[in-house]
Amino acid sequence: MLRTLQRIVEEVATASNLDEVLSISVRRVKESMAVDACYIFLADTQSGEYVLMAADGLNPESVGRVRLDLNEGLTGLVGKRKEPVNLEDAAAHPDFRYFPETGEERYHAFLGVPIIHYRQVLGVLAVQQQAQRLFDQDEVAFLVTIAAQLAGAIDHAAVSGGISKLLNSQARSTSFIQGVWGAPGIAIGTIVLLRPFTRLEDVPDRAVEDVAAEEAAFCSTVNALQEELRASGQHRATLLPIEARALFDTYVMLLGSEDLIASTVRRIHDGNWAPGALRDAIAEHARVFDRMEDDYLRARAADIRDIGRHILLRLQSESTTQAQCPDRCVLLGDEISVGQIAEIPMEKLVGIVCMRGSGLAHIAILARVLGIPAVMGLGDLPVGRLDGSEIVVDGYQGRIYIRPSPAVRNEFKRLAKEERKLSAGLGKLRSLPAETLDGARITLHANAGLLSDIALSLASGAEGVGLYRTEFAFMVRDFFPGEEEQYQVYRKVLRAFAPRPVTMRTLDIGGDKPLPYLCVKEDNPYMGWRGIRISLDHPEIFLTQLRAMLRANAGLGNLRLLLPMISQVGEVDEAIGLLARAHQALVDEGLESIKPQVGVMVETPSAIYQLPALAKRVDFFSVGTNDLTQYVLVVDRNNARVAGLYECLHPAVIHAVREVIHRARLGAKPVGVCGEMAGDPAAAIILMGMGIDNLSMAAANIPRVKWVIRSFTRQRARELLDQALELEEAAAIRHMLNAALQQAGLGGLVRAGK
Ligand code: PEP
Ligand code: MG
């Protein structure tokens, strides 16, 4: 059964559209379960009906015709109950509805299972048989498993199909694709995909500029690859057994297949660039092998795709066709790296859309720092088909609209204008203090990470930098930056803000922040080698960074040092020891060095409980609510699938942060928040109520949070905190705080919340 299941799933994965997914599924399930009929109803949410979408064993004409209400018939019953319905004689059940056009009167036994994707019933997969019998447990388990596996493929094919239809027609869309919030704001622009594409499916169509050059680039790539393989084949000939050599030769032969080359070249002549032509030629060839009955031949489909990927990677450096960067560019990709953002001229980049990750991914944080709207976690969209399309990015709701209708576009233009008005109004607050109505001062700092956001931070009225993420400068390079290079960057930042404080965090890589040149493979990177652990294991890297920071601080004295991912007291002792060593070395060299204040990021549950011991060792605390929320709620901050569970206003997180502030007070040490919670207007009220000293956030959020602080008394914030602590669910807390914002006349900020 497992083998059959795998085969069906593999075959379905190669289908190019929804109809193909469904027809393969019904055919294969009917065959493997040896039943008389198999069919799939899908829910049409617009009409509120189930529609028969594919059938094997029913009258073919009934497909697309039979429709029933979502509560109707045995299909409706399966959907309603969200569990299998297994009947000896379907017609005897009170919910049975007869559709003459299907010809199903011949059948008695019925087994229907729901097709569910992320809690949503997409449809029903059912089998029927003439005999009167109940399906056994193994058969039920098999169908349930198939339905669960199909759900993702059906959802993907449905979304992709919808987009493909849209792109192939002149139609404009009013419907959106839901992802998760990445960075607030609204952008209207043109989609740009960045190379290199690592998957063939992501390659877009692009008009070829010079057909002859493109063809030549393709042919020379294939020849070069063949040559390389042949050469290494000759080397292997002496080492490999004869069977392995035969496999190798088949691979080389497939690579040079006349058919494959001719069909790619034909597509180039039709006007597509080589990578796009290759994508279609490979898909066509692989499909032929996929359909073969013989197991050995079917497995060659994987070779064809592999060859395609090989050629693709090589081809991208040779193809002459480049993506144009339009004036209002929305960068879209499966995963977008900090380095890719750096490739786009900043004045042209208006939005970011990422298929993977959530609002806590570092690319989303960077988008917020830069004030660029972003949507994350859209899943498996046909990325390649979207290149060059118009798009609306709604960073507040986490949605995108591809090829929006004029009505949708106008509505978003209006919202963007309102947004600009609100920001302009808030600009007046720039020089006013962040002071509550009853005179309590909270310092507002900016989070930064690139030299380009210094200007933004200064313009926002930030009183300093509360979190400078030094890792961003490490992520856009091909190897570790040396002391001098780091010194230049840190010096610029410190000088730009002096005498205002700049809190620089030592290298915080690992987790979702891999360095391309420090290859670490871990099953569970968030629990693994990250933050201070890497720095302490590599004193040569850590000391270089500390020296660069201390040198940059000379004559300015506004550096504060922040240690990330502390989970053990000993880590702080070791880090402080290395800091003293770096300081002494500089003094010994006759250079000026002032020891900075040292703080700890409280972002692990263990740091909360160790706070009294930590307070004896450091000068201040900064709560990293992004990681703290992930570790307290056990929700991966980057996983779009569980993004709905990630909420800094969860009662457990509120209690945890309150505890940190309380313990820091007992240790007489100042405490701030530098996670995204600080820039969330609703959460800022709660933090004010707790008596926070400092909030550090993306510069764009500073005016909003200042408005909140200046609109409440600390007493009122305390009352709201007490009310929040009485509530049991995050949604209720957010709702209550949003109502308080509305009541205080700050309704315009509610949209900006999560
Ligand atoms: C945090 O974890 O809250 C934080 C500020 O650090 P980062 O988001 O860079 O992990
Ligand atoms: Mg963190």
Contact 441, 335 (CB under 8 A): no
Reported as a pLDDT band with limits 50, 70 and 90, residue 678 is very high
Q: Which atom of ligand 1 is the closest one to the Cα of 469?
A: 9
Q: Which atom of ligand 1 is the closest one to the Cα of 624?
A: 3
Helix (H) or strand (E) holding 369: helix 362-370
Going by their DSSP bridges, the two strands 671-673 and 694-698 should be labelled as parallel
Give the Å distance between the CA of 393 and the centre of ligand 1. 25
Task: Please report, in angstroms and rounded to a whole number, the separation of the first and last CA atoms in the chain.
Answer: 45
State which residues have CB under 5 angstroms from ligand 2, the bound ion: 603, 624, 627
The one-character DSSP state at 281 is: H
Q: Which atom of ligand 1 is the closest one to the Cα of 622?
A: 5
The set of residues, in sequence order, having a beta carbon less than 8 Å from that of 488 and lying 6+ positions away, is none
Reported as a pLDDT band with limits 50, 70 and 90, residue 536 is very high
Highest mean pLDDT among 166-175, 243-252, 260-269, 294-303: 260-269
Give mean pLDDT, residues 342-355: 87
pTM, full prediction: 0.78
What domains lie within the chain, and their CATH numbers? Answer: 2-171 (3.30.450.40), 176-194+323-422 (3.50.30.10), 200-315 (1.10.274.10), 435-747 (3.20.20.60)
- For 18-54, letters b (16+ CB in 10 Å) and e give bebbbbbbbbbbbebbebbbbbbbbbeeeeebbbbbb
Question: Pocket residues for ligand 1 (CB within 6 Å)?
Answer: 365, 467, 469, 508, 603, 624-627, 674-675
Please choose from 470, 601, 694 the residue to mutate so as to test ligand 1's pocket, defined by most ligand atoms within 8 A of CB: 601
Does residue 362 have an active-site annotation? yes
Q: How far apart, in whole angstroms, are the C-alpha atoms of residue 730 and residue 754?
A: 11
**What tokens were used for 453?**
């956001």
pLDDT greater at residue 449 or residue 550: 550
Give the Å distance between the CA of 701 and the centre of ligand 1. 16
**What tokens were used for 366?**
């960077």
- Closest Cα to atom 7, ligand 1: which residue? 626
- Closest Cα to atom 4, ligand 1: which residue? 624
Please choose from 360, 469, 504 the residue to mutate so as to test ligand 1's pocket, defined by most ligand atoms within 8 A of CB: 469
Average pLDDT in the chain: 89
Beta strands in 96-139 (DSSP E): 109-117, 120-129
Give the Å distance between the CA of 674 and the centre of ligand 2. 9
**What tokens were used for 467?**
């979190």
Give the Å distance between the CA of 611 and the centre of ligand 2. 17
pLDDT tens track for 352-411: 999 888 887 888 888 888 889 999 988 777 777 788 889 999 998 889 999 898 888 998
What is the gyration radius of the CA atoms in the chain, in angstroms? 30
Q: Which residue in the list 38, 329, 354, 674 is annotated as catalytic? A: 674
Nearest Cα residue to 707 out of 737, 735, 679, 676: 679
Give the Å distance between the CA of 625 and the centre of ligand 1. 7
Nearest Cα residue to 691 out of 723, 667, 659: 659
Going by their DSSP bridges, the two strands 502-505 and 465-469 should be labelled as parallel
**What tokens were used for 82?**
């969200």
Give the Å distance between the CA of 603 and the centre of ligand 2. 6
- Closest Cα to atom 1, ligand 1: which residue? 624
Q: Which atom of ligand 1 is the closest one to the Cα of 365?
A: 8
Q: Which residue in the list 362, 445, 583, 650 is annotated as catalytic? A: 362
Contact 143, 29 (CB under 8 A): yes
**What tokens were used for 333?**
């990709």
Q: What is the sign of the dihedral through the CA atoms of 689, 690, 691 and 692?
A: negative
Contact 341, 363 (CB under 8 A): yes
Give residue for tokens 């929006």. 404
Highest mean pLDDT among 400-404, 658-662, 749-753: 658-662
Please choose from 627, 636, 653, 701 the residue to mutate so as to test ligand 1's pocket, defined by most ligand atoms within 8 A of CB: 627
pLDDT tens track for 257-286: 888 899 999 999 999 989 999 999 998 888
Does residue 38 have an active-site annotation? no
- High-pLDDT (> 90) share of the chain, %: 56
